[in-house]
Structure 1
Amino acid sequence: MRNILLTIEYDGTNYFGWQRQPNKKTIQGVIEEAIKNITGEKVNLVGSGRTDAGVHALAQKANFKTASKIPVEKFPFALNSVLPNDISIKDAIEVSLEFSARYSAKQKTYKYLIYNHRTRPAILRNYAYYFPYDLDIVSMQRSCEYFIGEYDFSSFCSSGSETSSKVRKIFDCYLTFENECIAIYITANGFLYNMARIIAGTILDVGAGRIKPTDIPLIIESKDRTRAGKTLPPWGLYLVDVIY
């Protein structure tokens, strides 16, 4: 038996998220079917995290066990030949049988794109959040710094989270610009349910003048979801990288 780790890029627009669901098209379900097509095996594909419907990934990581003799370097080509064009296997390596893409992960990086122009986008409509009003970029950049550290992020977690502890460590949080958008990058040892989208919504509220950067520590300390910004839509969010 072998354990294969895949690096996966996908456009989440037409999927009901990562996790396999009955009678719904999901990233996990489509890739598992592709693996079955080329190996003849029914596998359990373990992803590093469960991205929501509409969320994209540049480098999702996922592993599966197989008895197949296909050379590991051939897996990307074989799988891509049967996968739809909005999912691409970028790389495949063999890892130890004990390795788990989910439980072995040390850090994850997400980014959120905000399209801050007067007129709405056409090409980027499914890939960035459209916000046509003036933003204080300097204050947004300052607010990012207050998220760095280890805290209870209950204020930045939607109801329905499956984890008992809300403590997470953010290693980096910063704002930059790319592809005509404001890009908010967040690297942490793990993310609560909708945490990245709520942090992005809170930083956006700072830019809009609804929250001050110095309010961020008080919002974190309060552990009160109602004090943080709204949960921004899924289509602006990307899983950028996973570190092991």
Structure 2
Amino acid sequence: MPSTPRRPSKPTALKSLGDLKNLASELAEQREREAARRAAEAALALKRQAEQNLFARAIGATQPLRKRQQTVALAPEPPAPIPFQHQLDEQRVLIESLSDEFDVGTLLDADDAMSFRRPGIGTDVTRKLRAGEWSIQRELDLHGLRSDEAREALARFIRTAHKHGIRCVRVVHGKGLGSPGKQPVLKTKTQRWLIQKNEVLAFVQAKPAEGGAGALVVLLAPVAR
């Protein structure tokens, strides 16, 4: 069955003079609280207005910023300088460190292959080089280069190979058959240059299958740790 809707309750009737007094007291308290709330809001608004006025007096008159501000163009960062002088110094060191007039007569072993071993290096080292017991890891071919070009190329090659821990290399200088008088000029100079390089411990003439009289097998010193 549908429920019967409830009728709104009637306000409680005042039964006595005391009830009337209580009601009047409650209404008075509500009015006091409302008045106090409004007074607090008004005081807070006045305080905020006073603070704004104080800030305005402190900064003085102001003007709105322009929409387009003037900007200062900054110069771009200059590129890093190219160390031309350092490069020239390195090239000069390469040229000056290897002399064409260096006397190697007393340093080469007087054998058929004219091998070289630095003082303190035993004959077993050159023997093993001739026997191919050292694996050739890099090679430089000086064919077709002028004397100064070959000198710089050889110095750079030896320095780079030693820096990377390479121990055995082959340098092809040719047999000099195309030189005036068929004299092996580049071969002799290559021997002189190699002897002047501290990285070189020894060298021997290559085996016939590896270039013979036209090449040298060079043993380099280990990299210091």
* Greater fraction of residues in strand: 1
TM-score, length-scaled by structure 1: 0.17
TM-score by length of 2: 0.18
More helix by share: 2
Instruction: Between the two structures, name the one with larger relative contact order (CA 8 Å, sep ≥ 6).
Output: 1
Highest CA radius of gyration, 1 or 2? Answer: 2
